[in-house]
Structure 1
Amino acid sequence: MIPNSKILLAALCMLIHFGAFGQRKSLFNGKDLTGWTIHGTEKWYVENGELVCESGPDKQYGYLSTNETYKDFELTVHFKQEADGNSGVFIRSDIEGVKISGWQVEVAPPAHNTGGIYESYGRGWLIQPEPEKDKYLKVGEWNTMKIRAVGNEVTTWLNGKKMVHLSDEKIGAAKGFIALQIHDGGGIKVRWKDLTIKEL
């Protein structure tokens, strides 16, 4: 028979475990960039409770990464594209300077594979949505992107519609930060809000 103290300890451990991994938490406080790190010279700022990324004078790649790293999770973000809008959400990633290694879920203008998965400085496009799914993107309006990464499996949804599902051992072996991207070329502005994550 297990002593009461051991039962209580086991119960406490379970509560801690599920409390840490079963709760959804916000990645953006709506006030400032606490919990994030800027990479590059492009613009990242908060306006009206929204996180804004905008091309700077250098017109190069720029990234805003979480200070924490994540492995298995369900991430939800809301975005609205202004100007060109070419951006993306990196998962399980790492960076040196502005050279990022990891996997990007694309956020782009129409007909440019929003919701697809691209491996930066690696194999390139791993999977793209079927062309007919492009209709789910709301240009100039708020969109909801959900990304679920568990082991080798990554699934993306746009406005409640499944975009792609990928099984990949290289992704499965990785752990890293989440990052938002500004693509090079200039003329880019994307707004973000309600960035939340639930570890699985």
Structure 2
Amino acid sequence: MKKLTFLLSTVVMLASCAALKTKESVSLFNGKDLTGWTIHGTEKWYVDNGELVCESGPDKQYGYLSTNEQYKNFDFSVKFKQEANGNSGVFFRSSIEGVKISGWQVEVAPMNLHTGGIYESYGRGWLIKPRAEDEQHLKPGEWNTLRIRVVNDEVTTWLNGHQMVYFKDEKIGNANGFIALQIHDGGGIKVRWKDFLLTKL
């Protein structure tokens, strides 16, 4: 009986692994151009040495680069390196008119300015910020890995492998939309991005 139970457990485990393998990660950025993305606003978005660069333009206004495809439930990771102080971020389940975006942003900012926290644009504002001790996982001027997992009404973020926040919200659960990168207004922003990997859930 024990052998049968063990065999059945093994079969279930192998079936689960096979199911996970069907959920393959895809790259959202080809390292060559902005295929699959749309620019909103007049700020600068370009490819340099296989990396995506966002940089403030002469207008010093908000700017966004959004995916053409919408994503509801997903696990997304991307690497970023800030080459100048300034506010950026990754939006999810969002929509846009002109440069007025509706949705939720996972913050990317200088030290102690809540990288990994969740902000609702043109809505409730800050929904959750990381704890002060977790803010220290940011590596200024170096490559950092941001991971965002969105499943129904739950959002979890990680920075360099450390969980930053977990948030559960009915409004987020009812939404759908694109993923977008942000340039905050005010100028003086330059961020490099690479290794955009997304798994639909």
TM-score by length of 2: 0.89
Q: Which amino acid aligns with 2:193?
A: W
CA distance in 2, matches of 1:67, 1:23: 19
Instruction: Please list every run of at least 4 consecutive aligned residues from structure 1 whose deviation after the TM superposition is greater than 2 angstroms.
Output: 18-21
The alignment partner of 1:91 has SS state of strand
Q: Which residue of structure 1 aligns with residue 140 of structure 2? A: 139
CA distance in 1, matches of 2:164, 2:128: 10
> Are residues 1:188 and 2:189 paired?
yes
Across the two proteins, how many residue pairs are aligned to each other? 183
CA distance in 1, matches of 2:192, 2:21: 29
Do the aligned partners of 1:21 and 1:198 also contact (CA within 8 Å) in 2?
no
> Are residues 1:171 and 2:175 paired?
no
Do the aligned partners of 1:91 and 1:104 also contact (CA within 8 Å) in 2?
yes
Q: Which residue of structure 1 aligns with residue 27 of structure 2? A: 26
Q: Point out where structure 2 has 5 or more consecutive residues left out of the alignment.
A: 1-18
CA distance in 1, matches of 2:58, 2:102: 24
CA drift at 1:177: 0.2
Indicate the RMSD between aligned Cα atoms, in angstroms. 1.3
- Aligned runs of 1:1-200 on 2, under 5 Å? 22-200=23-201
CA drift at 1:186: 0.3
The alignment partner of 1:135 has SS state of helix
Q: Point out where structure 1 has 5 or more consecutive residues left out of the alignment.
A: 1-17
Do the aligned partners of 1:62 and 1:183 also contact (CA within 8 Å) in 2?
yes
Deviations 1:37-85 (A, max 9, x none): 0000000000000000000000000000000000000000000001114
CA distance in 2, matches of 1:19, 1:78: 23
The alignment partner of 1:131 has SS state of coil
CA drift at 1:19: 9.4
Q: Which amino acid aligns with 2:124?
A: R
Q: Say if 1:190 and 1:121 are closer, same or farther in 2 by CA, change over 3 A.
A: same
CA drift at 1:86: 1.4
CA distance in 2, matches of 1:74, 1:24: 9
CA drift at 1:134: 1.2
Taking only the aligned residue pairs, the percentage that are identical comes to 74
CA distance in 2, matches of 1:70, 1:132: 31
Q: Which amino acid aligns with 1:191?
A: R
Greater Cα shift, 112-121 or 76-85: 76-85
The alignment partner of 1:134 has SS state of helix
Do the aligned partners of 2:112 and 2:136 also contact (CA within 8 Å) in 1?
no
Q: Which residue of structure 2 aligns with residue 15 of structure 1? A: none
